[in-house]
Every structure is written in C-alpha cells, then in structure tokens.
Structure 1
Amino acid sequence: MTSLGRKTMSLLRQLSIIFFCFEVTVYCQYEMHRMDEDYDEDGDDDYSPPFYFHPSRDGGIPSHPGPLSCAWECFCPLTFPSAMYCDNRKLKAIPKIPAHVQQLYLQYNDIEAVTAHSFANASNLKEINLGHNKIKSQQIEHGVFARLPNLLQLHLDHNDLEDFPLPLPNSLERLLLGNNAISRVEAYAMEGLINLTMLDLCHNQLHDSLLKEKLFQTRNLMQLSLCSNRLESMPPDLPSSLMHLSLENNSISLIPDNYFKKFPKLLALRLSYNNLQEIPYDTFNISSLVELNVGHNRLKQAFYVPRNLEHLYMEDNEFEYINVTLMCPSIDPIHYRHLTYIRLDQNRLKEPISSYICFCFPYIHSVYYGEQRKPDGQTVQLKTQVFRRFQADDEEEEEEEGDGQGHEPEGQEQGRTEENFDPYFY
C-alpha cells in the first residue's frame, strides 16, 4: 500500500470515531429530554386510567387500577361494565360488591352464607345469581335482600334452603328457588311482592298443608312452578293472573269442578306424572289455553278440548279408545278449533282415532301413537297419522331428504287416503 493510501485509511478511521461519539451524545440527550417530559414529580390529579377488571387467580391476565372497582376474585368485562362475574371459582364467601354493579353472577361456587357486609354498597343491584351453591336458610342474614331496593331477579336454586327466604324487596319480579329442600313457607311470605311475575319452587318438599293459606296472592304472578313436590291436591287460592302453571311430578289425584274457571289468562298447564284417573268433562274449558300436558297419569276417558288448544299430550295413560265426540261435541264452521298435534304413545289403543277428527279439528297436522301396550304386556307399533292436507308439504320435505331426484327415502311408505279426510300414514 502506498503512503497516500495509508494516510487516507487513517483519516477515515478518525472520522468514524468522531461520528460515533457525536451519535451517542445526541441519543443520550434525546433520552434525557424524553425522561424530563414523562416524569412529573407532582403528578396529574385529573388523570384517570381506563376501566379495569380482575380475572380469576388462574386466568393469567394482569389487572390494572382504575376508576370502577372489581373484586379481585371476579371478572368485570369492559363491554358490560355493570356486570361482575364470580361464577365457577370455588368461592366460599361472597366478595365485597362495588356500588356500580347491577348484575352479579355467583353461581357454581361453594358459598355457604349470605351476609349484609358483602352487599353494604350494592344498592344498584338488579340481578343476583347464587344458584348451585351450599347456602342454608339460617346462613342468610335477615333482611340482606330486602335492603336492595332495585333488585328484580334473584336466583337461589340448587342450594340447601329449608325455608322460604324472608324478607324480600318489593321490587322483585323473578324468584327462582327450585332444587332446594324447602318444606316451610310462612303464610305472609308473599306479602308486599306486588311486582312478582315468576316464581319457581320445583323440586322441593312442599305439602298440601303449606298451601292452604292464601300464599300466592300476588296480583301480577304469571308463572308458577310447583313441580316435583309432595302435593296430593290442587293448590287453592292461586291468583287469576296466572298464564303458566306447572304441577307435574306430584301425587295429585283429583281436579275439583270448575277449578280452572278463575284463570282466564292461562296459556300452558302441565299436570303430567300425577295420579289422575278421571278428569271432569269440561275441566279444561279455558278459552286462552294453548298447551295441555296430562301425560303419565291413569286416564281412561277423553275430555273436552277447548277451542284454542294447539298441543295436547296424553301419553302413558290407560286409553283404549278415544271418543272424538267427547273432545269435540259440536262443529262450528265459522269458529274453527286450533288443535294441531296430539301425543298418545304408551297407551292401550288398538287402532288410530276416527278420521272424524278432521272435521272437528281442521288444523290437525299429526297424531303420534308410537308404541301401544297390549293386555299381555307386549307392545304394538301404530303409525303416526299425518293428515292429507299436509301430505304435499311432507312429500316435498321427503324429496329434499331423499336422493335429490325426487325419490322418497328408503323405507318410507307411500301415503294413502280414503274419502276426503282420511289421514296419511308414515
């Protein structure tokens, strides 16, 4: 290398060192400048970090302080800031509820007690779900729910309650107490619950003696569920506002005459799994009734079917013959009856219902027979009736389910008709 080349290389090295030092100096100054801008010794009192949430311990999501608090055991979603989710977290106690919470979900835990301390600031609560816990009646602090003036819905189902929880706020609209061990209800339990529309007491230990008083006299009660208790008779003095009544899986053997005439709004009635052997002929003459279930009893004779009834369930009874004239004593060509479906499997029928049923119930679509019991204990299969006016629709559906070329699915029987009203079997 020549002397000139060596001098050039030396000069380039020196220039590189100078530029490097200059870069470091500028960078350090820039960083110091940013640090001076970001650091505020006095702080900003007006600054508020965004809303935060606390997931469960195992969630692995970090929490950040914020203006709306959330119990650390729970989850408060940004998209639903009025709710606090504490469900399925193996909690043994209810955490302190922040004042802004309106929906509180505590189901599927190991909670045994309800104390006023947890709800001291929770006056805005509208819904509490404490279902599927281990709460006993004596472990609910007296008046803890009554102090919540905005409460609309309370879930205490699937617990260990022995008594009806008292007192409750007048604002309450829906109360779920199913799957407990409630065997005691005070006569004044419903007093003041003027807004209650739905009450579930299924799967408890209620006896007839508990329902003799005017227990359910709440003028707005629309849905009452008393299924799977120990009732032997129809509960008296139910409110006339009822629209849905569930009494299935009890031991009721008798329906008093004119019992349902005081329920002008009743839409659905469920009396399955009882001990009914006979029903007074016009018991269900309720103009509003749409669904009736008397399956799994010991009935032998048909009864009057109201004009607006659409779904009738009579499976697993002792019917040997269905007298259509009893179900429909007269035909009104102007005011048709609306029955569309009857279920009759697990009875003792030897043949399908008379085709006269089409005159009485022009909207009837099908009658399901399924298996019928024979005197020797064997069963016989009766084919479901689908009536001819619906045959075209059914065949279109069958074609769609077939091979795509208009052929019926394999094993499907061709419809047959007799006269104008005979049913189509499949």
Structure 2
Amino acid sequence: MVTMDTFIQFSVLFLMLATQGLCQYEEYDYDTDYDPEPESQFQPPFHFSSFTDYHVSSIPFTTDCARECYCPPSSIITMYCDNRKLKSIPQIPSRIQQLYLQHNEIEAVNMKSFINATNVREINLSYNRLKSQKIDYGVFTKCPHLRQIYLNNNELEEIPSPFSTSIERIFLGNNKINRIKEQDLQGLVNVTMLDLCNNRIDSIKGKTLSKLTKLMQLNICNNKLNSMPSNLPSSLMYLSLENNSISKIPDDYFTRLPNLSSIRMSQNKLEDVAINTFNLPQLMELNLGHNKLKHVFYIPRSLEHLYLHDNEFEAINITLMCPVMDRMHRLTYLRVDQNRLRRPLSTLVFFCFPHIHSIYYGEQKHIAGETNVPLIPQYPFPDEDRDNDDDEDFPQYHREEHEPIAGEPAGDAEEDNYFDDDHLY
C-alpha cells in the first residue's frame, strides 16, 4: 500500500516538471503573426499630404481680365467687351481665345493691345468706326492661331492686310472698300469664306483671288462690279454677285469652276448668255432675277431652283432648256413672274422636269394693246389621256405646243426646232 509520504514525493516531482515545461515559452510574442508576409510585400501606412498633385483642373483667378470687359468664370477663354462705348481696344490676356468688341466706338487697332494675344482664335470688331489708316500694319499677324475675324460695318477703305495665314473666315461687308490689291490676300491659303458685300468695288482683276486655293464661298453682292471677277479658284462652291452692274458673262467663264453649287446674280444688267454658260455638274441653285434676259439657256440635270423673274422673256423655250428628256433632271422650282410672256408655258415642262412641283407665274409686265393671257397650262391634257411614260408622244406633242401664234415672229418657232434629231446631245 502506497504510504502518504510516497504520494507527497510524487506530487512534488510532478509540479517541478510542469514548471520547466511552461517556462520554455516565456519569451514568445503572442502579438506576432505565426506566418508573417515577406518584408518585400509589406505596404507602409498611407499618410495624406496637402502637397500631393492629383492633376485636377481648376479655374484660375481672372485678375488679368481688362477692367472694361467681362471674363465669365465659366469660360476662361472668352472676353466680352461689346456694347461698352469703348474708344480703344484694352489689353488682351494671353489666355483669351474669343474676343468680342462689337458695337463700340473704336477707330484704331494698335499693336500694343495684341502683344500678348497669342492664343486668339476669333475677333469680332464689327459695328465700330475702324479706319484703314489707323490700323497698325501687320497687327493681325500677331495672332498665329486666328481663324475668324469680323470687320464688317466699319469705315474701312482698304482691306487691312496682312492677316495671319491661319485665318479661315473674313467678314468685310458694309465698309467703304473701293478696290482690292493683289497683295491684300496673299498667303491666305486657308481661307474658305470671304465676304465683301456692300462696298464700292468696281472690278477684281489679275490673280487677286486665284491664290485662295481653299475658298468655298465668295460674297461680292451690292458693289459696283461691271464685269465678272477674274481668276476665281476652282474650289469655289457659292458665288454671290447680286446687285452689281455686270452686263456680260464670258462663254467659258464657269468651265474652270466645276464645284459651283449656287450662283446668285440677280439685279444686274445681263442681256444675253450663251446656251451652255451654266452647264455645271454640281449646280443646284441659279438666281438670275431682275436682269434683261430674253433667251433661255440649257439647264443642267443637277439644278433644283431656277429664278428668272423680272426679265424680258416673251417665251420660255423648253426645248432649249431641256434638249433630252431622260427623267434625270432635278428641277423642282421655277419662277418666271414679271416677264413679258405672251403665251402659256408649254406642258412639255412636266416631261422635261418630272420632279417639278412649283412654277410661279405671278403677274407679267403689261404689253400695250394686248390682253393678259392665262399663263397656267392645262394639265393633264384636256383632249385625251396621254401616257406620260410613252416617249413616242413627245415629238408630236412638242410640235403641237410650239405652233407659231398669229402675229408672232417666226423666229421663236425656228428657235424651238434648233435641237432636232441631229443636234440632240
């Protein structure tokens, strides 16, 4: 039997062994991960710095804006100086791209105002009192990025050249310009639009305009031209020559302008034009109203709007206008009021121009001793129903509609037969 002494000895021995086993872990750090990440993957904590640049755009202070003008915070590239009774141009900050100075009392343009204007794209100086002799030479070349300039409604007597070669649109209407020198437009290889309406120009000769190789729109309306401007660039698409004194168009004038889509020559003194003068592949609008024309001409297939009002036509010869009826003519609108028409238009017009939807006859000029003749043709034909698609009826119908009227000169009848089978295109 185990004695009490023996039990006590075993208990003391067990306690001594247990104490040694626990002491071997006394240096263990329980706050350390069992399998920590390698030191190279350790990410330091993020500390915010007020000096960090995140490249976020902000609106700068506009303290450089001229005090006479307004620079809106929402558009830091624009400076509004219009309608402020200014007599001079204020200093222009370098950040400005759009400069509005219209409707003021400015007479001069000084180099000093534009010394920092290296980023200007658009300048509007319209409706001021600008004078040619008070514009510093070359002032507009100090804006290498200039695209558009408004100088209309001023008192300019000459074009204030030179301009920056970057310019694309020039507005010079409503001034007192009486001539264009060849050097005025030199180097402007990017100009697409030139407006010279409402001036005093009587001629444009030489190669003044030929170097504008990208010119698309030319406006010279309301001037004193007595002849067509010479050497227009082949890039031209819109030509406005209304209200001049042009009496003649050279026969081959438009052959070098194949891209023309609009010609406006109303209110001139044209008396006659060659039959193929306007035979252009892209022409869509032709306005010859308020002239003295007596004879019609060939209408190209592309033409959609034709204005012949207020001329001296006594008859409209459809055969000359449309020698071949191939259904491809696009004419939709024809205006012939205020002429001297003595008979209705031939209904052949509906066959030659199948897309036409409006013919404006209006009133005709009074002819002494004659009563007014109804000008609207009967359509469809009153006698019998004709098949519009039957081309065999066209020649017979053509002869019926172009019988000479009693008392009328035979010349018109002969003119209608000008394009017989041997002359058709």
TM-score range, shorter chain: 0.7 to 0.9
Deviation at 1:70, TM superposition (A): 2.2
What one-letter code is carried by the residue in structure 2 that aligns with 1:166?
S
What one-letter code is carried by the residue in structure 2 that aligns with 1:153?
Q
- Relative to 1, partners in 2 of residues 1:313 and 1:150: Cα closer, same or farther, differing over 3 Å? same
Aligned to 1:150: 145
1:365 and 1:387 in contact (8 A); partners too: no
2:232 is equivalent to residue 238 of structure 1: yes
Query: Structure 1 CA distance, aligned partners of 2:263 and 2:300?
Result: 13
1:178 and 1:201 in contact (8 A); partners too: yes
2:72 is equivalent to residue 77 of structure 1: yes
1:372 and 1:381 in contact (8 A); partners too: no
Deviation at 1:74, TM superposition (A): 2.0
Q: Cα RMSD (Å) of the superposition? A: 2.6
Unaligned runs of 5+ in 2: 1-52, 389-396, 398-425
Unaligned runs of 5+ in 1: 1-45, 53-65, 389-416
2:185 and 2:208 in contact (8 A); partners too: yes
Query: Structure 1 CA distance, aligned partners of 2:264 and 2:174?
Result: 18
Aligned to 1:343: 335
What one-letter code is carried by the residue in structure 2 that aligns with 1:275?
K
Q: How does 1:87-166 map to 2 (within 5 A)?
A: 87-166=82-161
Q: Deviations over 1:63-108 (max 9, x none)?
A: xxx3463222222233333222221221111111111111111111
2:183 is equivalent to residue 183 of structure 1: no
What one-letter code is carried by the residue in structure 1 that aligns with 2:267?
Y
Query: Structure 1 CA distance, aligned partners of 2:100 and 2:63?
Result: 17
Q: Deviations over 1:347-378 (max 9, x none)?
A: 11244321111111111011011111121399
2:251 and 2:273 in contact (8 A); partners too: no
What one-letter code is carried by the residue in structure 2 that aligns with 1:212?
K
Given candidates 178, 200, 207, the residue that maps to 1:214 is: 207
2:161 and 2:185 in contact (8 A); partners too: no
Aligned to 1:275: 269
Aligned to 1:322: 316
What one-letter code is carried by the residue in structure 1 that aligns with 2:263?
L
Deviation at 1:418, TM superposition (A): 7.0
Given candidates 165, 170, 187, the residue that maps to 2:165 is: 170
Deviation at 1:380, TM superposition (A): 5.8
- Relative to 1, partners in 2 of residues 1:375 and 1:143: Cα closer, same or farther, differing over 3 Å? same
2:343 and 2:375 in contact (8 A); partners too: no
Q: SS state of the match for residue 371, structure 1?
A: coil
What one-letter code is carried by the residue in structure 1 that aligns with 2:168?
E
Q: How does 1:43-62 map to 2 (within 5 A)?
A: none
1:371 and 1:381 in contact (8 A); partners too: no
2:347 is equivalent to residue 355 of structure 1: yes
Query: Structure 1 CA distance, aligned partners of 2:370 and 2:135?
Result: 54
TM-score by length of 2: 0.73
Given candidates 259, 272, 285, the residue that maps to 1:291 is: 285
What one-letter code is carried by the residue in structure 2 that aligns with 1:95?
P
1:296 and 1:315 in contact (8 A); partners too: yes
1:367 and 1:386 in contact (8 A); partners too: no
Aligned to 1:365: 357
Given candidates 286, 303, 318, the residue that maps to 2:297 is: 303
Deviation at 1:247, TM superposition (A): 1.0
TM-score by length of 1: 0.73
Query: Structure 2 CA distance, aligned partners of 1:214 and 1:359?
Result: 44
- Relative to 1, partners in 2 of residues 1:149 and 1:332: Cα closer, same or farther, differing over 3 Å? same
Bigger Cα Rg: 2
- Relative to 1, partners in 2 of residues 1:182 and 1:290: Cα closer, same or farther, differing over 3 Å? same
Aligned to 2:15: none
Q: SS state of the match for residue 139, structure 2?
A: coil
Q: Deviations over 1:145-201 (max 9, x none)?
A: 011100000111111111111111100100111111112322222211110111111
Query: Structure 2 CA distance, aligned partners of 1:263 and 1:201?
Result: 20
Percent identical residues: 53
Query: Structure 1 CA distance, aligned partners of 2:106 and 2:145?
Result: 23
Q: SS state of the match for residue 218, structure 2?
A: strand
More displaced stretch, 372-381 vs 165-174: 372-381
2:313 and 2:339 in contact (8 A); partners too: yes
1:370 and 1:382 in contact (8 A); partners too: no
Aligned to 2:366: 374
- Relative to 1, partners in 2 of residues 1:378 and 1:248: Cα closer, same or farther, differing over 3 Å? farther
Aligned to 1:331: 325
Runs of 4+ in 1 over 4 A off after TM superposition: 377-388, 417-422
2:242 and 2:264 in contact (8 A); partners too: yes
1:182 and 1:206 in contact (8 A); partners too: yes
2:240 and 2:264 in contact (8 A); partners too: yes
Q: Deviations over 1:250-274 (max 9, x none)?
A: 1111111111010010010011111
Q: Deviations over 1:208-228 (max 9, x none)?
A: 2xx222000211111111111
1:90 and 1:108 in contact (8 A); partners too: yes
Q: How does 1:3-22 map to 2 (within 5 A)?
A: none
1:370 and 1:381 in contact (8 A); partners too: no
